[in-house]
Amino acid sequence: MKGNLIFAQSGGPTSVINASAAGVILEALEHSENIEKVYGAAHGIVGVLNEDFYDLGLEDKEELKLLCQTPSSFLGSCRYKLANPEQDASDYERLLEVFKKYNIRYFFYNGGNDSMDTCNKISKFLTAKDYDCRVVGVPKTIDNDLMGTDHCPGYASAAKYIGTTLMEIYCDAHVYNSPQVTVVEIMGRHAGWLTAAAQLAVEEGYGPDYIYLPERAFDLDKCLADVERALNEKGKAFLAISEGCKTVDGKLLPELSGDLEQDSFGHKQLGGAALVLSDLIKAKFAVKVRAIELSLMQRCSAHLASKTDVEEAHEAGREAVRAALNGESDIMIGYERKALDHYEIEYTHFPLANVANAEKAFPDEWINEAGNGIKTEFMNYILPLIQGEPELKRKDSLPRFAKLKLEQAGEPTDYVK
């Protein structure tokens, strides 16, 4: 089918989301027989609704390739959530209007759970309206919690950052001859995949003593007993804790201190688990406690990306375009492992309806019985994903990010204020 393409990014960014962007854009530009214009929407679905997009065909190809080492969503992201079309179809009608105006026949949405849900709703709406458009989701999430894929683009680079950084923190946190507790807080709203990556450091001999995932109820008394045991054994305790850990009553750690904000998806604004836990530990043991949040660094440290992750993310973007050109729609690109004796993946096409809004938890069988550690079996899963270091182009020994012209192609409106 002949027409134009819109690509947009959504949700929290990752170190490799732009590698997928480069995949979509560069592959699309190679198929000008079917895809005439390649547009990039500013700030996700908001840019589509507002006709705020760029003509990416005007960009320098070398700069587009540099997107593979440029963290975060170069087109911007948004926290705007489309209504359920059965309740309020106005955004979808508007989207159809824009698609018709610009003859959009290919729509690629690069995001996580919420984005795949958005993608699915759009796809269904367009089909119901008999508007022919191929809708493909390109996954990304450091949380690694999407259904329909062995792992998610962005996870491995975040995991590699976490493993490496915990090893380095271990060295620093064990240097003094006085008792010290170190609590590192790792992202992951509901799933423990990221926090489990702390096991990478454990296996190398420089890891946390205890790891707490949101998949198990957090028991403060047990945790304090863990700290006491470690302090008694070696005068140090090193904990990795997920921001999403909840007590058996469903309370997040920061909820003890009250004021949680909510974003427009109804997710609670997290952070502060390490700080609150540190205060509790300090109160009980009167030792030096350091709370460390890996914060945005864990999702934007492209300088420490996994080459495997970057290459797969890029290829997922290209595969999305190939699938759409083949007539496929309403799918998300996924990864499937093909072999047991070595690491090899196949790019799969997974129905969006099956991925939308479902979440893949960290497998229970990889959590130890006490619920405070990860089993070595997890290494078979994660180690292949973090392999390799991309060759980074640098300037002055600092990162050289893609510099794009971003020439306006649409006629921006203020449909979404």
* Phi and psi at residue 106, to the nearest 5°: -135, 125
CA distances to 142, 187, 371 from 259, rounded to whole Å, are 26, 19, 28
CB of 169 to a copy of itself, least distance (A): 5
Q: For 231, how many CA atoms within 13 A lie in the half-sphere containing its CB?
A: 19
Which residue number, 10 or 123, has a Cβ lying nearer to a copy of itself? Answer: 10
Q: What contacts 24+ positions apart, CB below 8 Å, involve 268-277?
A: 270/189, 270/243, 270/244, 271/185, 271/243, 271/295, 272/185, 273/185, 273/241, 273/242, 273/243, 273/245, 274/183, 274/184, 274/185, 274/241, 275/185, 277/183, 277/223, 277/239, 277/241, 277/253
Catalytic residue selected from 143, 145, 209, 226: 143
CB of 401 to a copy of itself, least distance (A): 7
Of 182, 196, 184, 183, residue with least CA distance to 142: 196
Give the C-alpha separation, 406 to 25, whole Å: 13
> Token match 């079309």: residue?
85
Question: 68-98 burial by CB neighbour count: b if 16+ within 10 A, else e?
Answer: bbbbbbbbbbbebebeebeeebebbebbbeb
Of 294, 142, 309, 272, residue with least CA distance to 208: 294
CB of 134 to a copy of itself, least distance (A): 26
Active site residue 143: yes
CB of 22 to a copy of itself, least distance (A): 15
CB of 224 to a copy of itself, least distance (A): 21
Which residue number, 38 or 201, has a Cβ lying nearer to a copy of itself? Answer: 201
| Size (the chain), residues | 417
Which residue number, 85 or 235, has a Cβ lying nearer to a copy of itself? Answer: 235
Say which DSSP state 16 is in: S
Residue 342, SS3 per DSSP: coil
> Token match 């750690």: residue?
253
Which residue number, 204 or 344, has a Cβ lying nearer to a copy of itself? Answer: 204
> Token match 């008694």: residue?
232
Question: Quick one: CA torsion of 226, 373, 310, 6, rounded to 10 degrees?
Answer: -90
Which residue number, 284 or 394, has a Cβ lying nearer to a copy of itself? Answer: 394
Q: Which two tokens stand for residue 279?
A: 């205060």
Compute how many other C-beta atoms are within 10 angstroms of the C-beta atom of residue 18: 32
CB of 377 to a copy of itself, least distance (A): 16
CB of 385 to a copy of itself, least distance (A): 10
CB of 259 to a copy of itself, least distance (A): 10
100, 48 Cβ separation under 8 angstroms: no
Kindly tell me the burial class for residue 322, based on how many C-beta atoms sit within 10 Å of its own C-beta (0-12, 13-18, 19 or more). Answer: middle
- Binding site residues, a copy of itself, CB under 8 A: 13, 42-43, 46, 70-74, 76-79, 160, 163-165, 167-169, 171-178, 200-201, 204, 206, 290, 292-293, 295-297, 299-304, 306, 383, 386-389, 394-399, 401
Which residue number, 100 or 400, has a Cβ lying nearer to a copy of itself? Answer: 400
Which residue number, 148 or 244, has a Cβ lying nearer to a copy of itself? Answer: 244
Which residue number, 35 or 270, has a Cβ lying nearer to a copy of itself? Answer: 270
Residues forming the active site = 143
